Amino acid sequence: MSSIDWPTPAKPRLDDMTWTQWSAFRTCGLRFAYLVDPLGEAWNRTTEAMALGTVSHVLADEAARGKITTSDNDDPVKVIHERFDELALEQHASMVNQWGTSAVPAPRRWPRYFHLRATVGHELAGAVLQRSPNSARVNFWPPESVTPPGNPAPPAPGERRTEISLVDAERGLRGRLDVVSTARDGTIEVIDLKSRIDGDEASIALGRAQLTFYAGLVEAVWGQVPDLFLVAPDGSRIRVPCTAADIAQLRLEIDGYRREAASQSIREMANASAKNCARCPFSVLCPEFRDFLRLEQHEESVPWGINAAWGVVISVTHAASSSSITIRQQDDLSIGPGDVTVTRLARDLAVSPGDSVVVVGGTVQGERSYLHATWSSKVRVGPQAALSAN
């Protein structure tokens, strides 16, 4: 019987982290390791929310560089909306290539697409006008530079900038802030444009943690604790309270995680749970995910939201628009023991009887003997397939 490999990444550097890396680290050290290792690159695929976030960041960057310009009669919001649509289509094409399926939903069907489009237009219009050749306002930096070399000076009173990179070299932390402005009284304001915020406490808490991370960068570089705001896709603002004590506490937390991880093996850094594994892009590779599902089944507790199957392919069927495979499972998992048929896979999936396969994602049907794949299901084929995606 073919064996399935569950490759682990190299232990990551801990002395240089972005917010995205720290967020992964505090959730599960093994997720952080996959994130920064080439092993995980092919599986960290773009979702709708990630695509919208990229569109927002690219627009903010283009606004900062003076790449989005208006004439006297142009509405800057309309110009931004048109560019938003163009960038979203580019992201969609990239997603189709990444996921290997044309079933990726069109951008205008993505959740919160039009809400975020309107919000980004409103938030960036001022920056676009500042960069316009006809603007009476002063361009503080050359249009081809988002930030000068090293850490930049803070915005001048009344100025708004986008995509500001800050580095806290002493603590090995860095980040890129969506929108930064300075009020007339010298108060710095940091805005984070969210492509998704569900309104529940967990979602808002994550946004607060991100802005506190950014506040620490501002305090380290500019010596001031800024005012912080989350801006939801619908344009609503959530003020995030933050004090010097909050920043100090975050720094202690980061230091603690680093010290603990320094003495751990790569697998000891893992924090497998139903919540963490269900949202992890690297579960299709991860031996801790495998062992977690095995343990959960032994304890007769099926983790909600996690559907996976792995084993040896015993048959392959090709239809007009999709493929199906039947797997002889090597473990008794949430789908049920014995043979499981995975349907609605990509028509050109390169898989043959005898191959080992891992499938993560989809919906369980038919007395738990069928797994219906979705466009975002992940399929890993063969012992040598860990570094490639189907």
Q: Residue 122: helix, strand or coil by DSSP?
A: helix
Distance, CA of 148 to CA of 88 (rounded, Å) = 29
Instruction: Mark residue 172 as left, alpha or beta (left: phi above 0; alpha: psi -120 to 50; beta: remaining).
Output: left
What is the pLDDT at residue 212?
Answer: 97
Most confidently modeled of 129-143, 192-206, 271-285, 298-312? 271-285
The residue-averaged pLDDT of 180-203 equals 84
Query: Measured at the alpha carbon of residue 245, what is the angle toward residues 241 and 251, in degrees to the nearest 5?
Result: 105
Judged against a pLDDT cut of 80, whether residue 384 lies above it is answered with no
- Span 79-127, pLDDT tens digits: 999 999 999 999 999 999 988 888 899 999 999 899 999 999 988 887 7
135 pLDDT above the threshold of 60: no
Sequence-distant (6+) residues with CB within 8 A of 6 are 285, 286, 287, 290
Task: Please give the average per-residue pLDDT across 127-131, as a whole number.
Answer: 68
pLDDT digits over 230-245, tens only? 988 878 888 999 999 9
Inter-residue contact 27 to 276 (CB < 8 Å): yes
Look-up of token digits 């938003």: 84
- Quote the pTM value: 0.83
Burial class of 291 by CB neighbour count within 10 A (0 to 12, 13 to 18, 19+): middle
Look at residue 103 in the predicted model and tell me its pLDDT: 87
Which tokens go with 161? 């900038």
**Whole-number pLDDT of residue 200:** 63
> What's the pLDDT score for residue 387?
34
What is the pLDDT, as a whole number, of residue 348? 80
Percent of the chain with pLDDT over 90: 52
Q: What local confidence, expressed as pLDDT, does residue 145 receive?
A: 37
pLDDT at position 306 = 80
Domain boundaries, the chain: 45-240, 307-381
The CATH classification number of 307-381 equals: 2.40.50
Average pLDDT, stretch 138-163?
A: 66
Burial class (CB in 10 A: 0-12, 13-18, 19+), 359: buried
Query: CB of 184 within 8 A of CB of 156?
Result: no
Q: Give tens-digit pLDDT for 362-382.
A: 888 766 688 999 989 999 997
Residue 143 pLDDT class (50, 70, 90 cuts): very low
pLDDT for the residue 69: 76
Whether the Cβ atoms of residue 347 and residue 334 lie closer than 8 Å to each other: no
Tens of pLDDT, residues 26-44: 999 999 999 999 999 999 9
What pLDDT digit, counting tens, does each position of 198-224 carry?
666 777 888 899 999 999 999 999 999
User: What's the N-to-C CA distance of the chain in angstroms?
Assistant: 22
Of the candidate ranges 67-76, 231-240, 249-258, 286-295, the one whose mean pLDDT is the lowest: 67-76
Q: How would DSSP label each residue in 174-208? A: EEEEEEEEE-TTS-EEEEEE-S---SSHHHHHHHH
Q: What is the pLDDT of residue 294?
A: 79
